[in-house]
Amino acid sequence: MNIKRVMLITLFSAVVSCGFAQATLLHTDGIYQFEYPETFDGIEEVSRAFTSFHRYYSDFFRFADQSGTSLLRVVILPDRDSFETYIQNRIGERRSGFLFLKYAKKELSELVLYPSLSASGETLRGFDAFAGPVLLRQLYLQYLYAHVSEPPLWVRDGFQACFETLNWDSQTGAVRETSGEPWLESAKSLYADSQKRLPASAILSAVTGSYEAVRFYPQAWAFATFLKTTENPEYQRFLYETFIILGNNGRYNDSSLQENTDSVKIRFVRFFDVAEADENFAVWLSGKYTFNELIQFGVTLYNSGEYAAAGKRLREAALIRPQDPLVSYYLGLVAYSEKNYEEARTRYIQAQQFGAEASTVLWALALNAWSSGDMAEAKKHLLSVKETNPGKYGERADKLLQSIPSP
């Protein structure tokens, strides 16, 4: 690993904070070159994280290694004001979010960032200063454009959305996929509307200006995710043949957007019946459940006495939002109904910690303790719920308290 830090003598006008120019350092590590203010702390961790994401993309797309052709440039500005000034000077527009700037000469292209602030107003250090979906979208674009000048829009936008939920483990350096699917609800809503639905052929054919981003982006995510996760080997093969086409035999792909789009679509229609593909895509999408759908299914199944099925759906919901109080509460009810009192107690306490209504949880804890035979804990919770919400639980709590044998 070749790491170099050099103090730049030349200071450019974009790196300005409160009217004072700041010295800039260079850090080169493998395929990335970082230009950053001397006040920023933790560039080595940022470099490790970026390299891990690059490795993840490389393992997925299998594009030829082009690290020997040019470095991937990353410019870190001192603060948001400096960032907005820099972007304004480059593209004539003000932007507040991190941005990958693609230039005609790909070696000049750059990912432009600025460190975020903590809740107390302190500049964050290391990867935490940039972590989040905005960075991951732009980091992916930098990787993609380093290999393909004009990728099909569904490859650009679909996988940009797929990868925005990736997570980097600073201890192991591993990049992992998370269970969240933030574009699922939008994709299902659009697909359910016959006026806004985009069939596979339309997604594959899309070029700049074909559709509004709010309509195309979620459905491109859905199509890319379908190809990425389907167990159908024919669709899996098409996806990786797409990457082979775009990989251009290991050379930089400088074909036009239309050429790349047509090349991939021609391969698709040659091997698939378009109507059948649309049906397969629709079936796959209908089998994907949003958080709200999982909650609704779980509660309905619980009320029907189907506790195992209810628990399955609710646990799937918990993977999406692990700190949702309603999910934890209903998982507690499921465990209680299955006489798993210790798990029920844990789930109720979690629901309380996550912000569930206090008296509801206290009453559930009281019933759970009573059913498990722990009368001391039952009495404690009954007294608490009686005090917290006497109008709703006072009379019921008194009846149970009166039946508790004296010590």
35-52 per-position pLDDT tens digit: 999 999 999 999 999 999
Contact 181, 289 (CB under 8 A): no
Last residue of some domain: 253, 288, 323? 288
User: 363 falls in which pLDDT band (50, 70, 90)?
Assistant: very high
Picking from 256, 288, 320, the residue at the C-terminal end of a domain is: 288
Q: Quote the pTM value.
A: 0.83
Paired sense of beta strands 72-76 and 110-113, if any: parallel
Residue 398: pLDDT band (50, 70, 90) is very high
The CATH number linked to 110 is: 3.40.30
Residue 246 lies in a domain: yes
Number of independent structural domains in the chain: 3
Read off the tokens for 152: 């099909």
CA distance 272 to 296: 36
Residues 386 and 300 in one domain: yes
- Of residues 22 and 86, more confidence is placed in 86
- Non-local (6+) Cβ contacts of 362 within 8 A are 381, 384, 385, 388, 393
**Do 236 and 268 lie in a common domain?**
yes
Residues 299 and 256 in one domain: no
Q: Using the 8-state DSSP alphabet, how is residue 124 labeled?
A: P
Residue 13 confidence (pLDDT) above 50? no
Per the listing, tokens 């024919």 go with 234
Torsion-angle region of residue 62: left (phi > 0), alpha (psi -120 to 50) or beta?
left
CB 130 within 8 A of CB 116: yes
**What pLDDT is stored for residue 180 in this prediction?**
79
Is the predicted pLDDT of residue 5 greater than 70, yes or no?
no
pLDDT confidence of residue 405: 80
Q: DSSP H helical segments within 230-340, as ranges?
A: 233-247, 257-271, 274-286, 291-303, 307-320, 325-337
Q: Is the pLDDT of residue 406 over 90?
A: no
Residue 113: which H helix or E strand, with range? strand 110-113
Comparing 57-66, 121-130, 222-231, which segment has the lowest mean pLDDT? 57-66
* Range(s) of the domain holding residue 331: 291-403
pLDDT of residue 9: 30
Give tens-digit pLDDT for 49-76: 999 999 999 999 999 886 667 899 999 9
Query: Does residue 161 lie in a domain region?
Result: no
Summarize the confidence of residues 313-321 as an average pLDDT: 93
407 pLDDT more than 70:
no
d(CA 201, CA 205): 6
